[in-house]
Structure 1
Amino acid sequence: MDGPSFFLERAKLKSLAMTQRTGYDAARPSPHAVFDGFLGTELATALYERFPGPDHPGWMRRDYREQSARLGQLQRSGFEGVDPMIRHLLAEFSGMAFLDFLGTLTGIEGLIPDPHFRGAGISLTLPGGHLALHADFNRDRTRHLERKLTVLYYLGKDWEPGWGGALELWDESRSRCEASYLPVLDRLVVMTHGDTFWHGHPAPLACPEGRYRATLSAYFYVAPKTAADDDAHGAIWAT
């Protein structure tokens, strides 16, 4: 069986990260950066065409006050039935090239991916769906790690501004939206986690039937320093 034919290029991504390194921390209302044309139109279009539709049997639907008409949780079945190209990109988000890109961009050392994509992975928002303003969970309780970054990659081909669905970043007091980014094809957003970093797409999605807000997401963590780090050493060789 033929496998995916692309890989993220380490040197190219590090150079890309440097173009926004100086502005990352200064971005308002919280540290973030946006990269358009991240993979290129041809590859992004191929991913869009392979994105699982609403008829995929593995989706779990969320319909709450805080979020509605949102499909997700495909990671619970190990992304079974998802196209290999989509799964490959998710794996690349956990790889060396992408981790080096994030570290160069943010200045955060020792970033740790989550290959289980708890709370992340693949999501699809149907017409009328929304995601209320929120601040994300702050720890991976299973691995005892501190959450540091959120990455969002959008696959909205020919997305119309009137359809809404923009990622909105609000100030600490939630009094105004200070940044807004539509979920257009091949747009990557990297943002730092914080308990007062409010974001979402609170207005109902106005895209027509048959169109959806398609997102790949990944979360990244660091291990807190402990007293055991003071005793760390290299290999002990027998003489």
Structure 2
Amino acid sequence: MTLISENVLQKTQTYAARFSAVEPFRHVVIDGFLRADFCQSLRADFPQFEDRHALNEMGQVGGKAVRMDVRDISEAYRQFDRYLQTPEFLGFVSEVTGIPDLLYDPDYVGGGTHENRHGQGLDAHVDFNYHPRTKWHRRLNLIVYLNEEWDRSWGGELELHSDPWDAANNRTIGVLPIMNTAVIFETNEVSWHGFSEIRMPESHRQTSRKSFAIYLYTRERPADETAPPHATIYVPEMMPLDWQVGRSLDDRDLRELRNRFGRLRTQLRFLYDREKQF
């Protein structure tokens, strides 16, 4: 059964043209990606936040829960899993992106359902570039958002960066994580992306940012796009660019600094522990 919206399938060539003609790297945003009734089923069956699925790289409980055991969630998610393996789905993504012979990941390494709570953000990063088990090349991310409402002032907007190492000249575009919006983007050594810290008002403090992530692979990739294997590479945020000498820090400023230093220390600890393995 076709799960992509019929209207989307009819506009495949339009999306293909958009994918190749945008900055800061190849991507496309598709509204109304799935059949509306099926997308509602995914939203209704979205799993509850559990601490055991919210462990960060250091084994600590954080504000992000990931369920990679997609087939254990519900029948709707099992149906979606079956569809992601079909020639129709893989052919559609190949036609939009121009990348042939795409491979579905039955392990959902890093993918599946993602839920991020108030206070959670994601520093700009490029993703790991090889599947850890199969050694396939990671080529594409496809994210479907499952939030029935989202205001830009809440943060949590997907940000695609030109170069987060160069904060003064970095260019970003944002995508609001609203219901049934899909983003497909190429995964390479310059596909920097993340999202700003989620700051929910008290009236929506129980609202979280929900999405489903699919990563697609190929057995080979062009030599000029191939890099040595690496894990996810983060670029921690600098001091806010608008902070100047003489600024008086309030409680929110101090919380922001603690969060930034905390993420930096966690990333450095992760890199140190990984380095010891070599």
TM-score (norm 1): 0.80
Report the CA distance between 1:60 and its aligned residue: 3.1
Q: 2:55 is matched with which residue? A: 61
User: Cα–Cα, structure 1 residues 159 and 204, in superposed 2: closer, same or farther, change >3 Å?
Assistant: closer
Structure 2 unaligned residues grouped into runs of 5+ = 222-278
List gaps (5 residues or longer) in structure 1: 1-5, 226-239
Identify the structure with the greater helix proportion: 2
CA contact (8 A) 2:5 2:33 kept: no
**Residue identity opposite 1:210 in structure 2:** Q
Quote the Cα distance in structure 2 between the aligned partners of 1:21 and 1:111. 16
In 1, the alpha carbon distance for the partners of 2:76 and 2:52 equals 17
Deviation digits for residues 164-188 of structure 1, max 9, x if unmatched?
Answer: 2111001035433431001100011
Aligned partners of 1:109 and 1:214: how far apart in 2?
Answer: 29
Q: 1:151 aligns with which of 142, 157, 161?
A: 142
Which whole-Å CA distance do the structure 2 matches of 1:121 and 1:31 have between them? 22
CA separation of 1:201 and 1:10: change in aligned 2, threshold 3 A:
closer
2:78 matched residue in structure 1: 87
Distance of aligned partners of 1:94 and 1:12 in 2 relative to their CA distance in 1, 3 Å threshold: farther
1:212 is displaced (CA, Å) by 1.0
Letter paired with 1:71:
A
Aligned to 2:195: 201
Partner of 1:34, secondary structure, is strand
Matched position secondary structure for 1:189: strand
Give CA-to-partner distance per residue, 1:186-226, whole Å, 9 cap, x none: 0111000111211001323436222111110111111128x
- 3-state SS of the aligned residue for 1:186? coil
**Are residues 220 and 98 of structure 1, via their aligned partners in 2, closer, same or farther at CA, if it must alter by over 3 Å?**
same
Q: Letter of the aligned partner of 1:41 in structure 2?
A: A
Give per-residue Cα distances to partners, 1:41-67, cap 9 Å, x unaligned: 333223212111215x76233387xx9
Number of the residue aligned with 1:16:
11
Q: 1:59 to 1:173 in 2, by over 3 A?
A: closer
- Give the Cα separation in 2 of the matches to 1:142 and 1:63: 19
Higher relative contact order (CA 8 A, sep 6+): 1
Structure holding more strand per residue: 1
Three-state SS of the structure 2 residue aligned to 1:42 is helix
Moved over 6 A (4+): none
Q: CA deviation at 1:13?
A: 5.4
Question: What amino acid sits opposite 1:45 in the alignment?
Answer: Q
Distance 1:22 1:43, change over 3 A: same
Identity over the aligned pairs, expressed in percent?
A: 24
- Cα distance in 2, alignment partners of residues 89 and 205 from structure 1: 31
**CA-to-partner distance for each residue in 1:83-140, whole Å, 9 max, x for gaps?**
2112322332232211011110011111111011011111110111111110001111
